[in-house]
Amino acid sequence: MDMPLTRSVMEPFRIKVTEPLPFTTATQRRELLRQARYNVFLLHGSHVTMDLLTDSGTGAMSAAQWAAMMTGDETYAGSESFFQLERVVQDLSGMPHVIPTHQGRAAEHILFAAANVAGRTVLANTHFDTTRANVEYLGGTALDLVIPQGRDPASEHPFKGNMDLAALKRHLHEGKDRVALVLVTVTNNAGGGQPVSLENLRQTAALARAHGKPVYLDAARFAENAWLIKEREGGQSGRSPAEIAREMFSLVDGFTMSCKKDGMVNIGGLLCLRDAELADQARSLLILTEGFPTYGGLAGRDLAALAVGLGEALDENYLRYRAASIRYLYRALDALGMPLMRPPGGHAVYIDAARMYPHIPPAQLPGVTLTNELYLAGGVRAVEVGTLMFGRPGADGAPDTCAPLELVRLAFPRRTYTQSHVDWLGEVIAHVWQNRHQAAGYRIARQGRLLRAFTAHLEPVQAAS
């Protein structure tokens, strides 16, 4: 590339279709949040001005993707759109067996069922919540073995998603027959969207192999991980994100992917495998729960959009802008003195709510306090990644175990918000930061058995006491 004349990194696209933002008043938001039982998952999207709940399925597709959708082949068996997608995925990952699913968690469920995790252990850097829930639902044990720096928000380690190799070795050695598989989440969503280095992935794979265990990627954010390797890992800056991604995939036996992230689509998932026998078992389960192997729970047009999106996710101009946009908000909040998960990750900025609200104990869900304050202040929706999401319920409905970190994630949908949206967001967050001393905690009034964060009813601690 030529030497740039400018230092600004602008959005590498222009806007062809727009969608108006909904606005609400502070009075309306107070009532709407009460009606949503103080759980932002239960708000209507039409009452949210800036939606940073998730980067999953919420991004904008390109003109090329919309055009590809028109060519989608809706044939039940043998859809041409499937073969297009299969070629793209095989070329990117080298995996011979490409199995589409309706989204990531379906791929996880099928992999863990086919790999028979019942009564056995899955060793991961960190399981995402649906991943952990699927392992546990199938009777397995999910262990998180991220490096200690990954649990320390203040650490500036460039690859805080890395597996703790000594811990992995110990578990592989001691667990022997109990270990079903090793899983590496790239980037490490539950731990701050932090990347895993190529070197760590190489060593993780070598350790797993030496103990006869397969290793898989949870590749939801494979392109962002590849970009952060290019930016941060010695000797990688001269390689393209696609080359780095290829090497990541070359090291593993297979991967699950929620394509709603770096697949750049609104819906879709993949389970890709090297082993033919395991792939046969997976396809049988797929037919039972998702659909025929050439569509797997998706429309032909979804497969077509994904085939284009996987290429766009690896575009250097896009990834440079993506990383710059996360850094831009990160720096604005850092300048306010806010406690953040450091350094900036791939898809989101994470605020350390435990340190922001030291007067609110983890059992009173400081992350929920922050998400609710953000909504009340400006109609901004974020997500708690703390004790509501990862704690375990006590007998009386109160959380008896708390999560290791009380984070709040501001996830950026892809190609959706511009720099002025982020400037406005920075002002809303600054207001919440200034008023932090008055904020109060929450308690859980009602919760489900699995994945409680999505459906729990909450109540403010002060109002109920």
- In one-letter notation, the amino acid at residue 149 is Q
Q: How far is the CB of 220 from ligand F0G (least distance, A)?
A: 4
Q: Which is nearer to ligand F0G, 82 or 412 (CB)?
A: 412
In this chain, which residue has its C-beta nearest to ligand F0G? 104
Q: Which is nearer to ligand F0G, 100 or 269 (CB)?
A: 269
Nearest-10 Cα torsion for 453, 457, 463, 465: -90
Q: How far is the CB of 341 from ligand F0G (least distance, A)?
A: 14
DSSP, collapsed to helix, strand or coil, labels residue 332 as: helix
- Phi/psi of residue 31, each to 5°? -70, -40
Q: Which is nearer to ligand F0G, 128 or 227 (CB)?
A: 128
Q: Which is nearer to ligand F0G, 326 or 360 (CB)?
A: 326
Q: Which is nearer to ligand F0G, 297 or 460 (CB)?
A: 297
Separation CA 310–CA 303 (nearest Å): 11
Q: How far is the CB of 376 from ligand F0G (least distance, A)?
A: 22
Q: Which is nearer to ligand F0G, 135 or 439 (CB)?
A: 135
193: nearest Cα among 415, 356, 383: 383
- Phi/psi of residue 277, each to 5°? -65, -45
Q: What is the largest CA-CA distance in the chain?
A: 63
Other beta carbons within 10 Å of 314: 21
Q: How far is the CB of 335 from ligand F0G (least distance, A)?
A: 26
Between strands 121-124 and 179-185, the pairing is parallel
* Backbone CA torsion sign across 349, 354, 359, 360: positive
Residue 84's contacts (CB-CB under 8 Å, 6 or more residues apart) are 303, 304, 307
Q: How far is the CB of 442 from ligand F0G (least distance, A)?
A: 20
Separation CA 246–CA 92 (nearest Å): 6
Separation CA 143–CA 123 (nearest Å): 5
Residue pair 47/27 in contact by the 8 Å Cβ criterion? no
- In one-letter notation, the amino acid at residue 21 is L
- In one-letter notation, the amino acid at residue 328 is Y
Q: How far is the CB of 182 from ligand F0G (least distance, A)?
A: 15
Q: How far is the CB of 290 from ligand F0G (least distance, A)?
A: 12
DSSP, collapsed to helix, strand or coil, labels residue 225 as: helix
Q: How far is the CB of 385 from ligand F0G (least distance, A)?
A: 9
Q: Which is nearer to ligand F0G, 410 or 425 (CB)?
A: 410
Q: Which is nearer to ligand F0G, 218 or 302 (CB)?
A: 218
Residue pair 341/407 in contact by the 8 Å Cβ criterion? yes
Q: How far is the CB of 246 from ligand F0G (least distance, A)?
A: 20
Which residues of the chain form contacts with ligand F0G (CB under 6 A)? 54, 56, 103-105, 128, 130-131, 185, 189, 218, 220, 258, 260, 269
Alpha helix (H) residue ranges in 290-418: 300-312, 316-336, 353-356, 366-378, 387-390
Q: Which is nearer to ligand F0G, 73 or 129 (CB)?
A: 129
